[in-house]
Chains A and B, each alone.
Chain A
Amino acid sequence: MSDEKVSEDVKKLVTTGPTVSSMFAPDKENLVEPGSHKDNDFERCIQCGYCRNVCRVYSITFSERDYAGGRNRILKALSKKELDFNKEEIIPSIFQCMLCGHCRTVCPVGIDLLEVFQNYRRTAVRKGVLPEKLGILKNSILTNKNPFLESGTDRYNWCDSETCKEGYDALQRGIERTRKIESGELKPSDIDEHLVGYFVGCTSSYRNNELSTATARILEKLGVKFILFPDEYCCGSVMFRTGLEDDAIQLVKYNVDMIRKLGVNELVFSCAGCFSTFNNEYPKFVGGLDFELSHLVQFVPKIVKQKGLRIRYTKRTKEDPMIITYHDPCHLGRYCGVYDEPRELMNMIEGVKFIEMKHNREMSLCCGAGGGVRALYGEISLDIASNRLDETVACWENINEDRLKEAIESKAEVLVSACVFCKNNLHLAASQTKPDLPMIDLSQILSECEFY
């Protein structure tokens, strides 16, 4: 059947109906702001089912319980006491959701479904619902200040200097600067009038050192004298996402206090989860933050423009670029609205050619890792990731068709993201189903770039 397929050009012309709607988010500019009812906003759900078609969990399970509209129906019944609250049986209806926010994007009545479902989790946990794995995770965070059951003192044993000396050295210099501020040897302004701190996060500290070392290399290449936080605690993202908010507040207060004491003006993140948690959750508990927040994909283009730099990917050339496609992480995109900056950044890099996947920006498909689904429902999470990879491959097929037309020879293609959780889940799925598909973080490409 594929031989009979019409070209992309024809498809883009006109359809007999509205354009392919799964690719476009509803335009909300000309809509009124909905009258929110906060915690019980689920009452406004009209069960239209538009969120069903975008729900990645539903696409695997086909269960009405697993998408936003169905969950709202359960919430309505619970609130009217028409349905019992059974601590064990209710768990899938609460936790089998990545909180990716795609449902919120398409909801025509404008319900803040993320708020509704986070509140559902919070309420359930307060009523004593706690899946065993979440209990372990909670204890680890409260005891060790990280979710990986690792010792808190090992947080900065990132990488050995043999494999990543440049990044390791950059990190060590960052730590030294921090210690000097702590000891009073230096004032923050002695390092930089606009002091930048790099909040590494637990996953890049304990599991994915390639991101932290890459980020440190990039910051140094840009001439940024950043500091680190050797005593940082888990940002609390996983706790906010899984209903453990009451326990997360102490982490929030500690981290903010620590960052303020060091006199940081701008906090940079390589982890999309930490970034969105600082953006969306922290202000609720500590008022406004008195330092700027930037994800690396925002920070790099900003500095590059400020300093009038150019970026060149050293492993390929302008004539023979590496073709990459970008997976929008939910925590950067739908949570924080960061869509343009990573695209602007990728388009700045000489030696890299960026091409969009079919579902992108607000309509990007979740990788399946978030909201505790990876930990609690591993198989579903991997199936979702695998489906996302199918689209990547389809995108590449189109790319290759275009490339043939342009008579450019392809040598490598890569799926890129800017979230360590997306990277890990998609990488795991690729290793099982599509071993030829490289999945890397954008920071890893940038660390191999020259800024000049």
Chain B
Amino acid sequence: MVGSLSIGAFSLIENEVKKIMNEVKVEEKQENGKTKFTYEIEEFISSPHVSTDRYEIEATSGDLSLLSKYHYKFKEEYQATHVVRPGNTEELSKLMQKCYEYSMPVTLRAAGTSCYSASTPTKGGVIIDVRRMNKVHKIDKENMTVKCDAGIAWQKLIEELLDYGLAPKCYPTSYRASCVSGFVATSGKVGIGVLKNGILKDALQSVVFVKPDGSTETISRDSQGDLSLDDIIGSFGIFGAVAEVELEVTTLTTSIEMIGYSFNTSKMAIEFFRTLKNSKANKPLFLSLSDKHFEKYAHWTYPSRDYFVFAVYSDDPNVTSQNVSFAKETASKLDGLSVEEWYLKEKWRDITETELNLGRWCQNLIFQEYWVSDERVEDFYNFYMEKTSKQRYRHAFYLMSGAKGGNRVKLFGLSDIKNSREFFGIKAVFNDITINNYEHKDSLYSLGVVNTFYFLRFNPEKAAYLRNLKNKLDPKDLVNSYRLVKAKMRPWRVGLLFWIAKRLYRTA
């Protein structure tokens, strides 16, 4: 009895000492530049993955675009105080819960291959980098599905599925760098496989979702909760983090062939493109249309005519062969000139790099991405030409087919930020095209902090719906703020900037 009392008393004292020691530890950490919050995070995420290193924060505070720094750097909120890398759903959930408890702003980040500051902090706080969540949990050959962490790189997933004779139904052309969660958070409407097998939304069976308060929910196609899969796809992380996904997959095909034709006029090229795209029986795995400038800047030798349509067919050998025959017949009717096979093979092999190779020509590669309906491709192109033909800067046009009647158009400007007149002049041209595109019921393809104001201006109803949902799920507005529902950039400021830019950057 005495012994047990002593032991009990000793335990109590020991606990008190531990408590005091912990408090001391917390204080020490605070003195060392870490906060109580940091220390509490390190209780469940190993310390190498909880960083307050200023260099790491700098490296993580951005995506392809550096614009956020220049647009609001004076507020110093483009930088976080922490970068944290959870390793699984449980860690992610606890982390979100802790951020919620501390009212700590959160920026969700995967590979950062989107643009327009989609993964840039806007209120400081914590960057949650999900790239450590990269495991494949289950490959189900019978039901043709895969369950994996959402931070997995597409390339890794493709290679793991390959071992089982399977492949994702669709994935982005940036698959060498990008992640599954990023494709979900953006929109998953364009890429390899979308025409043939459907867009990401069609392949997505369910997600494990972590809400801003840290609660976790599995959301499937028939879920009846606050959030649906439709809400999550393309939501740019404003409702929380996608932790795991279940995707339908497809089997490896046994043949693949590429066709490519160049045309003298945009009209013929667009017609050929549309015919291949809308042929019900012969859907290409990948389809693109580019102008001569694009091919020239991307390659040393390139097709001779002004427009180039490229399609890849993949299926059983007989089907592929039929598809290619159909494409050949259609091309000959439209006076298309066949492009050499080596060029097509190379283009397919390096499909991820093609659009980035333009960066070899310049100090700063500027681009803007649009979502343009099939019917409007020609008008869009004509407006683009009207705007750029008067400009001196080097430009290029690249269109990739999406499904469901839409396409991603990418416009490039080869420039140098040091030549600020030209740099902002190009941006001003893009601004004009963006407004024109929205006025014709089309939109931007990628949205981020620096271009959300376009979405708000032209999609007030959709924005109101998203805002209501955001208020419900994230009343403190902590997670991925200033995307879709609220703009960081002031339209008048941007408008003024471009108005001045147009006047300073005189056309040729």
Contact = CB atoms under 8 A, between A and B. Distances in A.
B159 interface: yes
Interface in B230-251: 250
Nearest to A49: B177
Contacts of A17: 158, 167, 171, 175, 192-193, 285
B155 A16 contact: no
Interface string B305-337: 000000000100000000000000000000000
Given A30-B301, A82-B69, A62 B175 contact: no
By size class, the interface of chain B is: 35 or more
B174 A21 contact: no
B165 A64 contact: no
Interface stretch (A73-81, A201-209, A227-235): A73-81
Given A16-B314, A50-B353, A62 B132 contact: yes
Interface in B335-364: 343, 346, 348-353, 356-357, 359-364
B359 A1 contact: no
Given A43-B363, A62-B129, A63-B51, A49 B112 contact: yes
Contacts of A18: 192, 348-352
A74 B56 CA distance: 8
Contacts of B178: 49
Contacts of B164: 1, 4-6
Interface in A57-79: 61-65, 70-71, 73-74, 76-77
Interface in B18-56: 48-49, 51, 53-56
Interface stretch (B3-11, B57-65, B395-403, B498-506): B57-65
A65 B253 contact: no
B111 A32 contact: no
Contacts of A13: 252, 254
A46 B356 contact: yes
A4 B301 contact: no
Contacts of A33: 360
B299 interface: yes
Given A14-B255, A21-B155, A49-B178, A74 B58 contact: yes
Contact of A27 (B85, B111, B349): B349
A35 B62 CA distance: 25
A21 B153 CA distance: 13
Contacts of A108: 352-353, 356-357, 359-360
A399 B289 CA distance: 43
A47 B62 contact: yes
A328 to B, nearest CB: 20
Nearest to A24: B349
Contact of B360 (A24, A32, A62): A32
B49 A109 contact: no
12 contacts: A14-B254, A15-B167, A16-B253, A20-B159, A32-B297, A49-B111, A49-B177, A53-B177, A62-B131, A65-B59, A89-B53, A89-B55
Of all A-B residue pairs in the complex, the 4 with the closest CB atoms, nearest first, are A109-B359, A70-B59, A49-B177, A108-B356
Given A6-B164, A31-B298, 13 more contacts: A15-B158, A16-B285, A22-B155, A30-B301, A47-B65, A49-B111, A52-B177, A53-B153, A74-B59, A82-B73, A83-B58, A93-B55, A108-B360
Interface of A: 1, 4-6, 10-11, 13-22, 24, 26-27, 29-35, 37, 43-44, 46-50, 52-53, 61-65, 70-71, 73-74, 76-77, 82-84, 86, 89-90, 92-93, 106, 108-110
